[in-house]
Structure 1
Amino acid sequence: MISTESFKGEVLVDESQELGEGPTFDPLSGTLLWFDILGKTLCELTVETGAFAKHALPFLGSVIAVIDKDRQLIASDQGLFVRERASGVLKPYASLEADKPQNRSNDGRMHPSGALWIGTMSKTADTGAGAIYHVAGTQVTKLFEAVSIPNGICFSPDGAVGYFNDSKVNHMMRVDLNPETGLPRGAPSVFIDQSGRKGVIDGSVVDVDGTIWNSNWDGGAVDRYGPDGRHIGRYEMPTRRPTCPAFFGSGFDRLAVTSCWEGMSDSERAEDVHAGKIFELGIPVKGKPEPFFKL
């Protein structure tokens, strides 16, 4: 049996988002960024001061990557956009499933090469309706088809291994990559099978040692897996539905975790008073910065 640790952290922002997702830390501005996907909102926390701001979006944004001190890349149900940080102005950058208006972007993460992996899914989570894409500059390449709920996209520190989850079947997949490009060198295989166990494999991030920190949606925990797939730790959360973790802080030694209340009844929300908030896990971690996106 793995050890389970009680929650030692804190609520970072005492405001609930219906579908909190896609957290990342921008070291250039010292801000923690994440989305309320269904609320069409980009959330921003200045870590040093605790100042919190919300930015309305004209689409369902789900992933943000830093380009430089002035610009960010956002993935959404309407494609990829470059956002000017100071003004919030959005400029179309690249198309993503323009022929599938019933789909939206979901989880994604930067590969060490400077390319973005981004998953798509049906807005109603239809089986096999989504895919996972590789975005290098303006070149968008479909990597894997027939994904239902793509989550947990993350990479080994050297970029030679990629991971992604299909939360609908509760599988974490592993695939060998070209570390110079982030493109696959073979077919993915099942790395962790959580079907039949408590909770759902959701968002993930990998630390400097190659261990995987995974949000256990509906299981109320963050799980830690070794590079060999061994389950080495579980950390309880004060909410049932954590969605995605991210390293943050000047030393990337803190772990933020988003959550959601999507799909909860009124009585369930009344019981889960912190559903939809963003948390710090409250234990020291050995994180690393997200690569910047290369235009």
Structure 2
Amino acid sequence: MVSAAQAVTQAVLPAPVLLGETRCHLGEGPAYDAATDTAFWFDILGRKLFEADLGTGSVISHDLPLMASALALVDDERQIVSTESGLHLRSRRGGAMTLFRAVEADNRATRSNDARAHPGGAFWFSMMSKSAKAGAASIYALSGGEVVLLFSGLTIPNAICFSADGRQGFFADTAQNELYRVPLDPVTGLPREAPSSLALSDDGKGLDGAVIDREGLIWIARWGGARIDVLTDAGETIRSLAVPARQPSCPVFVGKAFDRLLVTSAWEGQDEATRAADPQGGATFVFSPGAVGKAEPRVRLGAH
């Protein structure tokens, strides 16, 4: 018997479109600016930022002076970028990057990983060991102009995302196969209580980047699973979207109507045989997923 979730999984959707020809070593951190119809994503280990005009499909790459993993809009001229030395402000016009807040800048063993803007204007971002050392990762928030340590003792922090009203936050520790939910102050974006682990309807393996759609469903990449799973806020998987790459890393809704889904992927950690069997590993895809997302908030640099 085919379950309802399997039936949705097997539904025929248009094939995804490849965005650019580059294969990222570790593709991550996709973001979207609806005002200019521009998408961004990173190759963390390749120290590159990609910028795509979704109207024309053209993609350009920017070399970066350090490892960076995610960004969010501050205003029409500036972006905030999470990097291995902390938060930088980047000029949209010329690409110049200026250190805004140093975070673990004296620790050469760590780098930034997942991040996302909270509806109240805070910016959550994670730092982790470059070798994925157990317990060496943390999640921080830029809130009210200050960087606050939220959670420590993690290994691979991922899946940072927020409910539309800003009252619920989510994050994962990929190494522990755990997805957490935490009540938040909707203004500051800071926790009101300790996080609790969700009882997932599967084993939780490969939990990576995530985004929440307009209905409040969590779209989460499954590293090693070649799919995006769609979860309720209680952890139940209700559908899946197949990705033609073994290691999808993070989704974001794009397009003027937010009715497309951009998904990054990676070939990190694959040997020669695995890479040969995964020819689109590291590619960036755009799907028509049959769902609608919402605009990502802009980040507030100062007090609330």
Q: CA RMSD in A?
A: 1.4
From 166, 169, 183, the counterpart of 2:190:
183
Q: Which deviates more from structure 2 when the two are superposed, residues 34-43 or residues 227-236?
A: 227-236
- Whether 1:210 and 2:177 are equivalent positions in the alignment is no
**What is the distance in 1 between the residues matched to 2:129 and 2:105?**
13
What's the TM-score, normalizing by structure 2? 0.93
Partner of 2:273: 267
**What is the distance in 2 between the residues matched to 1:40 and 1:176?**
34
- Whether 1:288 and 2:300 are equivalent positions in the alignment is no
- Tell me how far 1:221 sits from its aligned partner: 0.5
Misfit runs of 4+, over 6 Å: none
- Between Structure 1 and Structure 2, the one with more strand by share is 1
Amino acid at match of 1:263: G
Amino acid at match of 2:282: G
Give per-residue Cα distances to partners, 1:73-132, cap 9 Å, x unaligned: 111001111111111111110011224221111001000001100011000000010111
Q: Is 2:200–2:236's contact at 8 Å kept on the other side of the alignment?
A: no
Partner of 2:140: 133
**What is the distance in 2 between the residues matched to 1:251 and 1:140?**
33
Partner of 2:256: 250
Aligned length: 294
Secondary structure of residue in 1 paired with 2:276: helix
- Residue identity over aligned pairs, in percent, reads 41
**What is the distance in 2 between the residues matched to 1:195 and 1:291?**
31
Q: Is 1:154–1:164's contact at 8 Å kept on the other side of the alignment?
A: yes
- Whether 1:142 and 2:149 are equivalent positions in the alignment is yes
From 24, 27, 41, the counterpart of 1:20:
27
- Tell me how far 1:240 sits from its aligned partner: 0.6
From 79, 94, 99, the counterpart of 1:72:
79
**What is the distance in 2 between the residues matched to 1:85 and 1:180?**
27
Amino acid at match of 1:257: V
Partner of 1:277: 283
**What is the distance in 1 between the residues matched to 2:121 and 2:72?**
10
Q: Is 1:222–1:234's contact at 8 Å kept on the other side of the alignment?
A: yes
Q: Which deviates more from structure 2 when the two are superposed, residues 279-288 or residues 55-64?
A: 279-288
Secondary structure of residue in 1 paired with 2:281: coil
Q: Is 1:194–1:201's contact at 8 Å kept on the other side of the alignment?
A: no
- Tell me how far 1:231 sits from its aligned partner: 1.0
Q: Is 1:170–1:194's contact at 8 Å kept on the other side of the alignment?
A: no
In the alignment, structure 2 segments of 5+ residues that lack a partner are: none
1:108/1:192 Cα in 2 relative to 1: closer, same or farther (>3 Å)?
farther
Q: Which deviates more from structure 2 when the two are superposed, residues 1-10 or residues 75-84?
A: 1-10
Amino acid at match of 2:28: E
Amino acid at match of 2:160: I
From 229, 235, 257, the counterpart of 1:223:
229
- Whether 1:62 and 2:64 are equivalent positions in the alignment is no
**What is the distance in 2 between the residues matched to 1:53 and 1:284?**
28
**What is the distance in 1 between the residues matched to 2:244 and 2:199?**
25
From 120, 123, 126, the counterpart of 2:130:
123
Partner of 2:168: 161
In the alignment, structure 1 segments of 5+ residues that lack a partner are: none
**What is the distance in 2 between the residues matched to 1:113 and 1:152?**
18
- Tell me how far 1:137 sits from its aligned partner: 4.7
What's the TM-score, normalizing by structure 1? 0.96
